[in-house]
Amino acid sequence: MVRLDTLRSSTGQPVRQRRRRRLPAVATALLLAAVLFGAYGWQPAEDGRAFRSPYLAQAGSRYADTPIARFHYVQAGSGSPVILLSPGGTSVIGWKEQVAALARDHTVYVVDLPGQGYTRLKDADFAFDLEAMTSAVGAFLDAVGVRRAALAGNSWSGGWALAFAQRHPERVSRLALLDATGLDLPGTWMWESLKIPVVGELAVKLSTGKSTVRGLVEGMMVNKWRLTDRLLDEWWAPMTFHDNIRATYLLERRLDWAQTERALPSTATPALVLWGAQDTVQPVERARRFAELLPDARLQILDGCGHVPQLDCPEPVNRHLQAFFADS
């Protein structure tokens, strides 16, 4: 009887040895196929669609239809207009602590831009770059009949607010930048990884679970006790929407902050640079760079606050915003 491991093919290689060599190649091909399917074929469930927001039930959702999008927003108060752009990656819930305080003296609008919160994109060719996002800001202002307003943003939306003020200075009376993007500097490794094809698609899809969202938000806050289960639900729900998932990795790849940094010395709009000293996403040194480059800037650094100071430290944020917007 001939032993199996001595059988040889026409090439002279032992049959079992050739089969062993095939196994790693097959496993690699299967793994690659699974990763590609996860990035481009699979979609996680939009579990957040079933969520009924207690905050929106109380605040009252409104919608403004434009060719770009059906903008979701909340509105309160009366007086000179203040526009709060929902922080990148979340919704109008990101300014929940500021609305009542600012509404005492202003008409306050909190709006979800395309790819954020509950806004529904209509323009299939929307580019998710700075030109597109600033066009969206202008379209919303036109839709609600606001010609000129004070403008505020946090994180990504701070960068969008800055870019809009640079392109349309006649429409922005005051500019509040809270832990904002807008400098031509790299982000954290987590955000930088989203720029890599396949990796970015898969990473965003896998980060929509509620426990993952909790970890992300807690990592951005110093006063973690403020992240209640109710706030977590509000933050998490729109992150599961497929359009918002796609927007997240496209924005990370297409937002060119070199444009905004170059224009900082000629940005004449009065600006408030308001920053959490313990920001783990946009280090506090970036606040000082904004203040150095902007011609008319007030710098306020809040100790004991992280990347979302309006939720992490709402009381001092409200005081600074009220004082800053008082002349708008």
pLDDT at 44: 82
CA–CA separation, 289 and 54 (whole Å): 39
The answer to whether residue 296 sits within a structural domain is: yes
Name the domain count of the chain: 1
The answer to whether residue 178 sits within a structural domain is: yes
Q: What is the mean pLDDT of each run of 10 residues along the chain (328 residues)?
A: 47 58 72 70 85 96 98 98 95 98 98 98 97 98 98 98 98 98 93 87 89 95 97 97 95 96 98 98 98 98 98 98 90
The answer to whether residue 147 sits within a structural domain is: yes
Q: For the chain, what percent of residues have pLDDT higher than 70?
A: 91
Residue 111 vs residues 28, 35, 165, 311: alpha-carbon distances, Å: 45, 35, 17, 17
The answer to whether residue 23 sits within a structural domain is: no
E-strand spans in 197-284?
271-276
Residue-wise over 198-212: b if at least 16 C-beta within 10 A, else e?
A: eebbbbbbebbebee
The answer to whether residue 118 sits within a structural domain is: yes
Burial of 168 (0-12, 13-18, 19+ CB in 10 A): middle
Residue-wise over 269-305: b if at least 16 C-beta within 10 A, else e?
A: bbbbbbbbbbbebbbbebbebbbebbeebeebbbeeb
The answer to whether residue 279 sits within a structural domain is: yes
pLDDT in tens, 69-90: 999 999 999 999 999 999 988 9
CA–CA separation, 151 and 98 (whole Å): 13
pLDDT at 2: 43
Residue 288 vs residues 143, 152, 196, 275: alpha-carbon distances, Å: 35, 18, 30, 9
- CATH at 257: 3.40.50.1820
pLDDT at 10: 52
Contact, 164 vs 180, CB < 8 A? Answer: no
Amino acid at 115: G
Amino acid at 156: W
Tokens of 208: 């929509």
| Mutual angle of helices 229-236 and 210-220, in 10-degree steps | 110
Residue position matching structure tokens 């000129």 = 148
pLDDT in tens, 33-77: 777 756 677 688 889 999 999 999 999 999 999 999 999 999 999
pLDDT at 145: 98
CA–CA separation, 309 and 278 (whole Å): 10
User: Is this model's pTM higher than 0.85 or not?
Assistant: yes
The answer to whether residue 41 sits within a structural domain is: no
Instruction: Provide the residue range defining the domain that includes 286.
Output: 57-325
pLDDT at 5: 46
User: Beta strand pairing status for 106-112 and 69-76?
Assistant: antiparallel
CA nearest neighbour of 98 among 116, 112, 82, 119: 82
What single DSSP character describes residue 68? Answer: S
CA–CA separation, 281 and 307 (whole Å): 6
